[in-house]
């Protein structure tokens, strides 16, 4: 489908919107009007989510045609939203809207008369359940940085979780950057122009396929390199990792911030490091934003409150 996000979202809403439909028709799987919309207010609300998702796809995945969306794009979008600690109701609204997007795309595809593509974003429901269980949703905004990240990391029960959390804290990477690390991603020693010290580089590919270096301390790198040499790759289970973080936070009486909290700690520390060598506040925001694989400088201000 060609056109702006505004145009494409309008076309999709048009494919599932029919005023005056009865609820039983919209909820009956055997009805030709199953999953359609009849409320102007609901249609406008869902359309805003469609547009926001399309802007995200353009910026982070270079996907300009909504018909080319795949489930991994949807899951990445949810992960992207969770990073900013959304309210439970807000994420539920997004998940519901993506369900309507799935229905709209299937209807639109069918109406074209060509080979129909079957869109299935059902894993979004599993992710919503996971986010709820791991306390990744909030009632309101709050700063998610851990009060003592070093103590948190040292207290984690599993050695691989201690290593992955250390990488996140030192390098500011998302879980995507530590969930699986292979030998070819280890790039060795580099000079960090901000701290004027030697660091060690790990090449990661994260949100939207964005690739870039994550800088960690020598001790962390050597430990990672040794593990990969022995086991071929470094890999951890997301849910086990998050559970360890949650239980450890409870033991220490820390807020449950999952692994995202370590990125918040990174952003705060890195901003101070930029400031110490003479960068302006705006330059520091942009530099840290790029290191965290964001584009806009304003994103960093979210992490530092």
Could you read off the pLDDT of 72-98 as tens digits, one per residue?
899 888 888 887 667 788 888 999 999
State whether 113 and 172 are in the same domain: no
State whether 12 and 125 are in the same domain: yes
Query: Does 267 fall in a domain?
Result: no
Could you read off the pLDDT of 130-155 as tens digits, one per residue?
887 766 676 555 677 899 999 999 99
State whether 110 and 162 are in the same domain: no
C-alpha 224/C-alpha 183 separation (Å) is 10
CATH number at residue 167: 1.10.443.10
Query: Does 300 fall in a domain?
Result: no
Number of domains in the chain: 2
Query: Does 273 fall in a domain?
Result: no
**275 token code pair:** 């400031």
Query: Does 144 fall in a domain?
Result: no
CA 207 to chain centre: 7
CB 50 within 8 A of CB 93: no
Of 79, 100, 133, the domain-final residue: 133
Could you read off the pLDDT of 191-204 as tens digits, one per residue?
999 999 999 999 99
The domain of 171 spans 149-260
State whether 170 and 215 are in the same domain: yes
Q: Which residue has the higher pLDDT, 303 or 43?
A: 43
State whether 95 and 163 are in the same domain: no
Query: Does 275 fall in a domain?
Result: no
State whether 168 and 55 are in the same domain: no
Which residue is listed with tokens 């400031």? 275
State whether 24 and 128 are in the same domain: yes
State whether 163 and 128 are in the same domain: no
State whether 113 and 49 are in the same domain: yes
C-alpha 98/C-alpha 236 separation (Å) is 29
State whether 157 and 129 are in the same domain: no
User: How much is the pTM?
Assistant: 0.64
């Amino acid at each position: 489908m060609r056109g702006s996000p505004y145009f494409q979202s309008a076309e999709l809403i048009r494919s599932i919107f029919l005023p005056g439909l009865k609820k039983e028709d919209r909820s009956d799987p055997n009805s030709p009007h199953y999953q359609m919309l009849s409320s102007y207010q609901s249609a406008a609300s869902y359309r805003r989510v469609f547009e926001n998702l399309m802007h995200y796809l353009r910026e982070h995945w270079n996907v300009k045609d909504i018909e080319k969306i795949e489930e991994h794009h949807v899951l990445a979008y949810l992960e992207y939203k969770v990073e900013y600690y959304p309210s439970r109701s807000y994420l539920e609204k997004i998940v519901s809207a993506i369900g309507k997007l799935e229905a709209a795309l299937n209807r639109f595809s069918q109406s074209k008369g060509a080979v129909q593509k079957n869109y299935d974003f059902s894993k979004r429901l599993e992710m919503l359940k996971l986010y709820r269980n791991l306390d990744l949703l909030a009632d309101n905004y709050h700063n998610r940085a851990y009060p003592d990240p070093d103590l948190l990391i040292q207290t984690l029960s599993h050695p691989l979780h201690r290593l992955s959390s250390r990488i996140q804290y030192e390098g500011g990477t998302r879980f995507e950057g530590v969930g699986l690390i292979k030998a070819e991603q280890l790039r060795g020693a580099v000079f960090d122009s901000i701290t004027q010290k030697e660091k060690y580089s790990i090449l990661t590919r994260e949100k939207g396929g964005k690739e870039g270096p994550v800088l960690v301390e020598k001790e962390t790198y050597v430990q990672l390199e040794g593990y990969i040499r022995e086991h071929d790759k470094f890999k951890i289970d997301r849910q086990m990792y998050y559970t360890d973080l949650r239980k450890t936070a409870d033991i220490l009486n820390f807020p449950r911030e999952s692994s995202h909290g370590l990125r918040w700690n990174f952003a705060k520390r890195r901003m101070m490091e930029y400031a110490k060598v003479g960068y302006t506040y705006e330059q520091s925001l942009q530099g840290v934003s790029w290191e965290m694989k964001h584009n806009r400088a304003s994103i960093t201000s979210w992490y530092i409150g």
